[in-house]
A and B are shown apart, each in its own frame.
Chain A
Amino acid sequence: MDPNSQNQRWSKWVWFVKPGRMIQRPFVDVKANCARFGRKAFGSVSRMNVTQTGRGYIIEVLTEGHPVHDQNFVEYMRENWEEFFVSGFGLGTKVKMTAKLMAGSRQDGTPSAQMLIIPSLKIGDTHA
């Protein structure tokens, strides 16, 4: 996969979710529901990471092909995901969303952004 090839646009969407009511939901259910909803919202050319923190959840989606430079689209996604989280975690749920262009054109004449994804390594790995 070369995210920096022409005509691709990669974006990263992050939701910080603080559940409103104390609805106890198993983490596996949260992950499964987010994955299902994310697939509907973004399609399969996406990668999702769900993290549970002390205050709630962080949902990160790296996806290709969505007009993240279009504020109307960003607002549309914000409303839909907020509705999804509120229906799942109950009233009073607080949702904060960020959307960032990772690779591709902003359609404003500036040079295209490019993206790198760094792997992780463990001590003990040696340079061959």
Chain B
Amino acid sequence: MRRLVLALITLINSVFSFDIGRAMWRVHKNRRIPFEIRMWLLQGALVLHPIRGGANALYDTFKNGLGLKVFDMDVDVFKATLIDSADYTYSAAHDFYGGGTPDVPAAAKVAESADLSGTWSAAGVFDSPDFSWLTVTGDQSEAIILWDDTITDDRLVAFYDTGITGMPVTPNGGNINVTVHTSGWFSL
């Protein structure tokens, strides 16, 4: 029975391609549902959550770099790049945007911004004014990478490919104007 439920959930997830794992986690908390079934759902959530494609995330290498004082969030120059997901797949272990062996191939970089003039607030929020990529041409793009241009070989900071209004975007030679969330790029 348990295998049947898991197989059914896997099938639903593959057909509808939404985050059923998280939905199951919410259902798991509902105490009106028999305990045994809730446990199956919890197992399903744990199994299926990694199946979900794409989510915004900070690179693990960036988190590590914060602890090691590699990044100076208030002083470094940060830039954003429009990314063609056909040529780049996120990995938390990726570290370098540029340099001799970049983790992000040149083909994936559709447009680079100027200095974002990012600021680090006392509340632990990294924010920047809105910015634009000017006269953009190239492949259809589905993601954005935030990176540090000050450190040698340009270190990766964050990857965004989910919940971006206007994505995917097909460059038409015009400007692409980006509105940064009122809560900033990310917060601790």
Q: Which A residues are within 8 Å of any B CB, using their own CB? A: 1-4, 12, 49, 62, 100-103, 110-123, 125-128
Q: In the complex, which of the residues A103, A115, A123, A128 contacts B186, with contact meaning CB atoms closer than 8 Å?
A: A123
Q: In the complex, which of the residues B63, B175, B176, B187 contacts A120, with contact meaning CB atoms closer than 8 Å?
A: B187
Label chain B's interface by main secondary structure: loop
Closest 7 CB pairs of A and B: A111-B174, A127-B57, A117-B165, A120-B181, A120-B183, A111-B173, A119-B163
Give, as a whole number of angstroms, the nearest-CB distance from B124 to chain A.
Answer: 8
Label chain A's interface by main secondary structure: strand
Give, as a whole number of angstroms, the nearest-CB distance from A114 to chain B.
Answer: 5
Of residues B19, B21, B58, which shows the largest number of chain A Cβ atoms within 10 Å of its Cβ? B58
> What residues on A are CB-neighbors of B183 within 8 Å?
120
Are B55 and A116 interface neighbours, CB within 8 A? no
Are A122 and B188 interface neighbours, CB within 8 A? yes
Q: A1-B165, A2-B166 are in contact. Are A121 and B179 (CB under 8 A)?
A: no
Q: What string of 1s and 0s marks CB contacts (under 8 Å) between B153-172 and chain A? A: 00000111011111101011
